[in-house]
Each structure stands twice: as C-alpha cells, then as structure tokens.
Amino acid sequence: MTNLQDVIDAWNDIARAEERYRETLRAAIEDGVPQVKIAAAIDRTREMLRRDAMTDEQREAFKRAEAERLRNRRAGRTRN
C-alpha cells in the first residue's frame, strides 16, 4: 500500500535527479560535448540546455531579468 511518505520520497527523488542532470550537463558542456548533440539526444532546444545548465544564482538572476523585461513590455503596450 502506498502512503504519504512514498509520495514525499518520490518528489524528493525528482529534485535530486534534476540537480544531478544540471550538474552533469554543466560538466559535459565544460568538457566540450557539443550542445547540439546533447539537444538532439534528449529532445531539448539549445536555449533550454543553456537555462538548464545555469547555476541556481544564474537562474534567479535570469528570472528577475525576464520578469523585468515582461513588465517593461506590458508597460509599453499600455501606453500605445
């Protein structure tokens, strides 16, 4: 019988797997594995790979910049 702890454990497994993927991806890119080959092998775009390879700090900075860009874009539309 499955219980709440099984769900929590599975959720935590996802987080660990994502972090391992991101670390492995960064290492592969640093070691010269072509992004185009990685993208084709796992069916992701190169832009997705670039975002996936970002550190947590880089991801936060990117999210803030993206949110600011969207705010500016919306503000520009309301003025027209």
Tell me what the mean pLDDT of segment 45-53 comes to. 96
Q: What whole-number distance in Å separates Cα of residue 74 and Cα of residue 76? A: 5
| pTM for this predicted structure | 0.78
Q: How much is the mean pLDDT over the chain?
A: 94
Specify the pLDDT at position 79: 59
pLDDT, tens digit (0-9, with 9 covering 90-100), for 12-21: 999 999 999 9
Q: What was the pLDDT predicted at 76?
A: 86
Q: Are 26 and 2 in contact (CB under 8 A)?
A: no
- pLDDT tens digits, one per residue of 59-79: 999 999 999 999 999 998 765
Report CA-CA distances (Å) from 22 to 1, 7, 11, 39, 48: 33, 23, 17, 14, 11
Alpha-carbon distance of 71 to 63, in angstroms, equals 12
Mean pLDDT of 37-64: 96
